[in-house]
Amino acid sequence: MTRKDEYYNRAKQEGYRSRSAYKLKQLDEAAGLFGPGNTVVDLGAAPGGWLQVAAEAVGPEGTVIGVDFQRIRDLDAKNVETIRGDMTDEETKAKLRERIGEKGADVVISDMAPNMTGEYSVDHARSVHLARQAFEVACDLLPAGGDFAAKVFDGRDLDALREEIDAEFEYVRSIHPEASRDSSSELYLVGKGRLTAPVSEGEERDVVVDDVGSEGDGVVKIDGYTLFVPNTETGDSVRVRVTDVKPNFGFAEVVDG
Ligand SMILES: C[S@@+](CC[C@H](N)C(=O)[O-])C[C@H]1O[C@@H](n2cnc3c(N)ncnc32)[C@H](O)[C@@H]1O
């Protein structure tokens, strides 16, 4: 029995609508995507296997919103909503944004896949296009610290997309879940910890130290974002170089001279 058959049978037995459900379980195990009470956006959600897995993972206090241009049959889970639409259309994106509201989402996941032509370079390019659409939605809907995962077929444009994601998240990983190993070119790019900081690594700034934190580092506020600067005192005017950017705070060092 191939892995495909194995997961297909398991999905039937365990009541999941797709064998893809196990890919999401494995992604969550590997990357820690979901927490109780999270708001999750699932792009390319039909027939609904990922919706079932995400709904279980976030629990009754959480919400999962699935989007697909195909109809998604109603699920038993009370914490799942669906929107029917094409994610490459601005109208669908606007609908989703309105539904999510000011607070944003905690996680954006995408299993969107193009209709396969069988021509590898075309299928790859289309899958990168869909993953990039999902990435744009993630940048729009995720506040600092949010996570992102999207399916993509391996190929020449993968590295460029990975770098784009890396710039907007604390780090990026490529994960090839065991449940998708039969389709060898499929993998998931996972961006952990959305960065919305007004500074980037390597950047230099002239700053005034506002305070000294409990660990003894100087504290600088830039548009509400906290930078810790070791070896400085309250009131110091210094030029700093940003050395590390995390979702909710960063570190900088004093530039000599
Ligand atoms: C592999 S299936 C998703 C399976 C799903 N994760 C599950 O577990 O049931 C890919 C889905 O992406 C959807 N899709 C592809 N392009 C899309 C687009 N532009 N907008 C919305 N959905 C799209 C397809 O209709 C299809 O249902």
All residues at 6 or more sequence positions from 183 whose CB lies less than 8 Å from its CB, including other chains: none
Whether residue 41 has its Cβ less than 6 Å from ligand 1? no
Residue of the CA atom closest to atom 23 of ligand 1: 44
Whether 184 shows a pLDDT value over 90: the answer reads no
> Domain total for the chain?
2
Nearest-atom number in ligand 1 for the CA of 133 is 19
Confidence class for position 257, pLDDT limits 50, 70, 90:
low
Please tell me whether residues 91 and 130 are part of one structural domain: yes
Q: Using a CB cutoff of 8 Å and minimum separation of 24, what contacts does 168-175 make?
A: 168/135, 168/139, 168/194, 168/195, 169/193, 169/194, 169/195, 170/194, 170/195, 170/245, 170/246, 170/247, 173/30, 173/31, 175/26, 175/27, 175/30, 175/31, 175/149
Ligand 1 centroid, distance to 192 Cα (angstroms): 22
Nearest-atom number in ligand 1 for the CA of 20 is 8
Whether residue 70 has its Cβ less than 6 Å from ligand 1? yes
Ligand 1 centroid, distance to 87 Cα (angstroms): 10
Residue of the CA atom closest to atom 13 of ligand 1: 44
Nearest-atom number in ligand 1 for the CA of 47 is 9
- Per-residue CA distances from 216 to 80, 190, 203, 213, 249 (Å): 46, 35, 23, 5, 15
Please tell me whether residues 101 and 218 are part of one structural domain: no
Q: What average pLDDT does the structure give for the chain?
A: 95
Please tell me whether residues 110 and 131 are part of one structural domain: yes
Tell me the per-residue pLDDT of 108-138, one tens digit each, with 9 for 90 and over. Answer: 999 999 999 999 999 999 999 999 999 999 9
For residue 59, what are its two tokens? 């629990």
Whether residue 86 has its Cβ less than 6 Å from ligand 1? yes
Residue 129's CATH number: 3.40.50.150
* pTM for this predicted structure: 0.94
**Angle CA 48–53–57, to nearest 5:** 145
Q: Pocket of ligand 1, candidates 18, 112, 136: which has the most ligand atoms within 8 Å of its Cβ, to mutate?
A: 112
Whether 207 shows a pLDDT value over 70: the answer reads yes
At residue 221, the pLDDT reads 97
Please tell me whether residues 186 and 213 are part of one structural domain: no
At residue 4, the pLDDT reads 74
Which structural domain range is residue 238 located in? Answer: 204-254
Catalytic (active-site) positions: 151
Residue of the CA atom closest to atom 10 of ligand 1: 112
Please tell me whether residues 116 and 141 are part of one structural domain: yes
The DSSP secondary-structure symbol of 179 reads G
Please tell me whether residues 95 and 211 are part of one structural domain: no
Residue 231's CATH number: 2.40.50.140
Strand, helix or coil at 236? Answer: coil
At residue 12, the pLDDT reads 92
CA distance linking residue 145 with residue 147, whole number of Å: 7
Residue whose pair of structure tokens reads 């494995």 in the numeric block: 26
CA distance linking residue 50 with residue 58, whole number of Å: 12
**For 52, how many CA atoms within 13 A lie in the half-sphere containing its CB?**
20
Q: Pocket of ligand 1, candidates 14, 68, 95, 133: which has the most ligand atoms within 8 Å of its Cβ, to mutate?
A: 68
